[in-house]
Amino acid sequence: MPVDDLWYLATRAEQRAERAYHALTDAHDDFLEFNRRRSVSQDRFRTLAERVERTGAPYGAHTVVYRDNGDVVLVRHEDVDLWVLPGGGVDDGETFREAAERELAEEAGVDATYHGLAMMTSVAFESSGYSAWGVLPVFEACADDTTLEVRDPDGEITDAAWFADLPKDTRDRRDLQRWRDRAFS
Interval 147-178: pLDDT, tens: 999 998 888 999 999 999 999 999 999 999 99
Q: How far apart are CA 105 and CA 123, in angstroms?
A: 25
Q: How far apart are CA 100 and CA 117, in angstroms?
A: 11
Backbone phi and psi for residue 167, each to the nearest 5 degrees, phi listed first: -60, 155
Nearest to 161 by CA among 90, 93, 73: 73
Backbone phi and psi for residue 182, each to the nearest 5 degrees, phi listed first: -75, -45
Please give the pLDDT value at position 112. Answer: 96
CATH of the domain at 69: 3.90.79.10
Please determine, for residue 4, whether its predicted confidence score (pLDDT) is greater than 90.
no
pLDDT digits (tens, 9 = 90+) for 71-126: 999 999 999 999 999 999 999 999 999 999 999 999 999 999 999 999 999 999 99
Please determine, for residue 2, whether its predicted confidence score (pLDDT) is greater than 60.
no
Please determine, for residue 53, whether its predicted confidence score (pLDDT) is greater than 70.
yes
Q: Taking CA 58 as the corner, what is the angle to CA 57 and CA 60, rounded to the nearest 5 degrees? A: 60
Please give the pLDDT value at position 185. Answer: 83
- Can you tell me the mean pLDDT for 21-34? 96
Please give the pLDDT value at position 153. Answer: 84
- Can you tell me the mean pLDDT for 6-11? 95
Q: How far apart are CA 97 and CA 83, in angstroms?
A: 21
The one-letter code for the residue type at 86 is P
Please determine, for residue 52, whether its predicted confidence score (pLDDT) is greater than 90.
yes
In angstroms, how far is CA 92 from the centroid of its own chain? 17
The one-letter code for the residue type at 102 is R
Domain count, the chain: 1
Please determine, for residue 1, whether its predicted confidence score (pLDDT) is greater than 80.
no
pTM value surpassing 0.75: yes
Q: Which residues, 6+ apart, have CB-to-CB distance to 59 below 8 Å? A: 51, 87, 88, 89, 123, 134, 136
Q: How far apart are CA 11 and CA 58, in angstroms?
A: 14
Its domain, for residue 135, covers 3-183
pLDDT digits (tens, 9 = 90+) for 126-152: 999 999 999 999 999 999 988 999 998
- CA distances to 6, 29, 31, 75, 161 from 84, rounded to whole Å, are 30, 24, 19, 5, 11
Q: How far apart are CA 184 and CA 161, in angstroms?
A: 19
Q: How far apart are CA 146 and CA 150, in angstroms?
A: 13
